[in-house]
Chain A
Amino acid sequence: MKDEAVKDDAAKDRALLTVEDLWVSFPGKGFRAPRTEVLKGVSLEVRPGETLGMVGGSGSGKTTIGRAILGLAPVRSGSITFAGERIERAPAKQRRRLSKDLQVVFQDPYTSLNPSLAIGDTLSEPLLAQGIGRREARRRVGDLLERVHLPSDAAARLPREFSGGQRQRVAIARALAIGPKLIVCDEPVSALDLTTQRTVLDLLLEIQERTNVSYLFVSHDLAVVRFVSHRVAVLHRGEIVETGDAARVTADPQHPYTRSLLLSAPVADVAEQRARREAFEHERAAS
């Protein structure tokens, strides 16, 4: 454990993204209702080419971290540093500049693509916003589709003609369009079928290998997070309760919450699942 901490300290200098003591709260519902604290002092860092997995239950605040980094959630206090720049309260202009390096893939491939825009138009949007010409943009859209293994005639078609997995590939292509340094992946495979999920995860890994992009990978599924992440942070009620290398956290969880989370996910093996179930019930009874 101590070793890890030292390593982390050294890594901080090289980190691409550093979040320190981040607090986010939303106004309460109703007149003079107390604010809801969603994040209570979260700190983390992501290095170039690294995947940090964020795992937690619903309401743990894992999605909010990603949204705060992207400027879609209000930061109350704390700092977010990205590539040496403070961005926690970046004004619109700085945000637009940042969009070159900081991108997102959302959970739901059905609502994250505008249903009335052709795939090609959706993909060229970020390119045009960066001031790239139309002809050049069209050429790059072809490249992008190829990189996410979609047919090149996809550009002229509408999202409804694609399956969930294909749409998620389009969303990934959009995130890749201008060569970002960090992609926030917000539950990118949880709406997908099992077999599709695997191919999309493989694609994300392949892209990382090739471009050295970093991922902040948010998911409720520990098995998925373990598969794609170098390091895993476990979030519970707005706080990080445990963080460490993927193998360590998932094989030897220290925090009781991590242990319960791990044991509660059913596995597709009858005997092993029976053992897990008993361990989970035991853990529950103990707490």
Chain B
Amino acid sequence: MSETVEKAPAAPARRPGGALRRLLRNPLGLIPAVLLAAIVVAVLLAPVLSPQDPDTADLADSFGGAAAGHPLGFDSAGRDLLSRLLHGGRFTLGGAVIALLVALALGVPAGLLAGYRGGRFDAAASWTVDLVMALPAMVVLLASRAILGNTVWVLMVVLGVLVAPSFFRLVRGIVAGVRGELYVDAAKVSGLTDLRIVARHVLIVVRAPIIIQVALVAGLAIGLQAGLEFLGIGSGDTPTWGAMLNEAFQNMEQAPSMIVWPGLALGLTSASLVLLAGALRDALEDRGDRPAPARPRRRPRADTPAATAPADADGAERADLLSVRGLAVSYGTKEVVHGIDLDVRAGEIVGLVGESGSGKSQTAFSILGILPEGGRVSGGSVTVLGREIVGLPEREHRALRGDVVAYVPQEPMSNLDPSFTIGAQLVEPMRYKLGISKAEAKRRALDLLRQVEIPDPERTYGSYPHEISGGMAQRVLIAGAMSCDPKLLIADEPTTALDVMVQAEILGLLRRLQAERGLGVLLVTHNLGVVADLCDRVGVMHDGRIVESGPVERVLGEPAEPYTRRLLGAVLDDVPARAPWRPAQKETA
């Protein structure tokens, strides 16, 4: 059960229309979109806008500068540059569109089918795609020009085939992921045909990435095509931006300014497409959902301690190991933890219990100094061994973690790096933190693994994370947490991801280690049974506040607050089992 920051319940629905609005509100989206639209319109209206036919030549005008009706001047053959630019755009942009259409027509359906069905078609299609991707595009284009003739359109169809794999791979990857989603299973159980499932559930997911990819591939196609023309490989007669660039380049000495216009057209179009792709990604993929980092992560010195110090005026003496007074945590302007007090003494296990969104994990993260991006301690004070840690520079905080404060996370598997052995992951931090030799670190690591009751420490030491079970992984993480002999252990739902029997064992292990080492433990959990099993004292969190705290026997046995009572009322331990089944009185079946 992961802690999430409560979202506003009535957030406006996000629809494609909203995405368009978001795109246009972003200057990096609006400017390229307007530029592209202008270029496309100008090119479409070429016959109307251009002063004359692009092939009308008058040698008398060759290399002529701007003249009335010919704002850009003339090329080497005395043809009007503006006309050639506008008409050339039709071939350049039209060619890119053809390449895109071919790539989409080939790549998307094949990707959908391969991703959704898998199996033999997937294997065959993936092989083919790998083959196509292995072909050097330039060589294929040159060869196809020799065989198929040198019209722009044919070359662009070939280019479309060559870039189709990028769409195939994109779509196949996403669809293969979606296929495993529960909502696709649910749709199958609902009796939907595969075609409907693809149309309703799958296409909608690949839509955004495809749009983004289209913008990128369009830029690529234009660039490649211009490159071919520039090398003189395109069709000589058709006016295209690449061919114009080529001609300008050849006449660099006589008329250096001629290179500007096609260069500008190509540059603006390609740059707009790349920028647009980026802006589309931001607009279509859920960026707005995350809490915006209100400002660059600055040390929260400004709005911190001292001022709120009177919080301990309520009598309770601050504990020497961990003491929290008036702690507040905010994301942007939204406060999620509203001033909580908490003490952990040496040799004491304190539970922090609450439902998701109550702020219990946020509290633990603030003490560790590892709040997720966008979050900050916005008030209060936290002392560890009498030392204020709110506003501590990251370097000193890091030194504190491991040495004095250790952490056991919720998901043991995702907290181990799959590419290193267990041993390496235990030894490395010890060598860094304690400055001991490799052999000494290994000896200690094996000793730790024994202490966390791992049956065959030598074997586990050499194993990779995927070779051990979730319960073993949690033992390894506990061993790692113990490696630098901490005083305070913060465990965030340490058994939530585990089976009940494994949970019972891990709880037993934590109890033993705590007793042997006189550790102070802050245990964050949603499970009241775990609290009853392990904790000495408990704080009940609700909506960012501690609503009730005290010795476990008292809080669980005689809860004073309505919320605590409600929580305990939902526990099913004492509810009688359901009575045996009786046939329905009036059987309707």
List residues of A whose CB falls within 8 A of some B CB: 14, 16, 47-51, 57-58, 70-72, 92, 95-100, 102-104, 106-108, 111-114, 116-118, 122, 125-126, 129-130, 156-158, 160-161, 164, 171, 174, 177, 181, 191, 193-198, 212, 220-224, 226-231, 245-247, 250-251, 260-261, 263-273, 277, 280-281
B254 CB to nearest chain A CB (Å): 58
Q: Given contacts A161-B10, A277-B533, are A195 and B181 in contact (CB under 8 A)?
A: no
Interface size in chain B (residues, C-beta < 8 A):
67
B359 CB to nearest chain A CB (Å): 14
Assembled-state Cα–Cα distance A70/B553 (Å) = 46
B388-445 interface with A by 8 A CB criterion: none
Q: Offer 17 A-B interface pairs, CB within 8 angstroms, sorted by A.
A: A70-B185, A70-B189, A99-B191, A103-B189, A106-B185, A117-B204, A126-B191, A126-B192, A129-B191, A129-B192, A174-B190, A194-B526, A226-B575, A230-B578, A247-B576, A250-B577, A277-B533
Assembled-state Cα–Cα distance A251/B581 (Å) = 17
Q: B552 to chain A: which residues have CB within 8 Å?
A: 270
Q: Given contacts A118-B13, A280-B504, are A270 and B578 in contact (CB under 8 A)?
A: no
Q: Given contacts A158-B13, A245-B580, A246-B577, are A112 and B532 in contact (CB under 8 A)?
A: no
Asked if B504 contacts A277 (CB within 8 A), the reply is yes
Asked if A229 contacts B13 (CB within 8 A), the reply is no
Q: Given contacts A125-B190, A227-B578, A273-B532, are A281 and B508 in contact (CB under 8 A)?
A: yes
> Does chain A have a CB within 8 A of B571?
yes
Q: Among A251, A264, A270, which residue has its beta carbon within 8 angstroms of that of B532? A: A270
Q: Who on chain B is nearest to A171 by CB? A: B186
Q: Who on chain B is nearest to A98 by CB? A: B191
Q: Given contacts A194-B528, A212-B584, are A126 and B190 in contact (CB under 8 A)?
A: yes
Q: Among B504, B569, B570, B587, which residue has its beta carbon within 8 angstroms of that of A266? A: B504
A223 CB to nearest chain B CB (Å): 4
Q: Given contacts A57-B500, A129-B190, A277-B533, are A226 and B578 in contact (CB under 8 A)?
A: yes
A73 CB to nearest chain B CB (Å): 11
Assembled-state Cα–Cα distance A221/B1 (Å) = 15
Q: B503 to chain A: which residues have CB within 8 Å?
A: 264, 266
B19 CB to nearest chain A CB (Å): 11
Question: B519-542 interface mask toward A, CB cutoff 8 Å, 1 = contact, 0 = none?
Answer: 000000011111111000000000
A82 CB to nearest chain B CB (Å): 13
Q: A71 to chain B: which residues have CB within 8 Å?
A: 188-189
Q: Who on chain B is nearest to A58 by CB? A: B499
Q: Who on chain B is nearest to A11 by CB? A: B581
B203 CB to nearest chain A CB (Å): 10
Q: Given contacts A174-B186, A194-B526, A266-B507, are A227 and B572 in contact (CB under 8 A)?
A: yes
Q: B527 to chain A: which residues have CB within 8 Å?
A: 266
Q: A117 to chain B: which residues have CB within 8 Å?
A: 200-201, 204
Asked if B567 contacts A195 (CB within 8 A), the reply is yes
A134 CB to nearest chain B CB (Å): 14
Q: B14 to chain A: which residues have CB within 8 Å?
A: 158
Q: A16 to chain B: which residues have CB within 8 Å?
A: 589
Asked if B571 contacts A104 (CB within 8 A), the reply is no
Among B190, B507, B569, which residue has the most Cβ atoms of chain A within 10 A? B190
B497 CB to nearest chain A CB (Å): 9
Q: Who on chain B is nearest to A177 by CB? A: B190
Q: Given contacts A125-B187, A130-B191, A156-B13, are A268 and B583 in contact (CB under 8 A)?
A: no
Asked if A160 contacts B11 (CB within 8 A), the reply is yes
Asked if A268 contacts B577 (CB within 8 A), the reply is no
Q: A271 to chain B: which residues have CB within 8 Å?
A: 553
Asked if B191 contacts A104 (CB within 8 A), the reply is no
Asked if A49 contacts B501 (CB within 8 A), the reply is no
Assembled-state Cα–Cα distance A231/B580 (Å) = 7
Q: Among B192, B557, B581, which residue has its beta carbon within 8 angstroms of that of A47? A: B581
Assembled-state Cα–Cα distance A269/B556 (Å) = 7
Asked if A194 contacts B567 (CB within 8 A), the reply is yes
Q: Who on chain A is nearest to B471 by CB? A: A58
> Does chain A have a CB within 8 A of B196?
yes
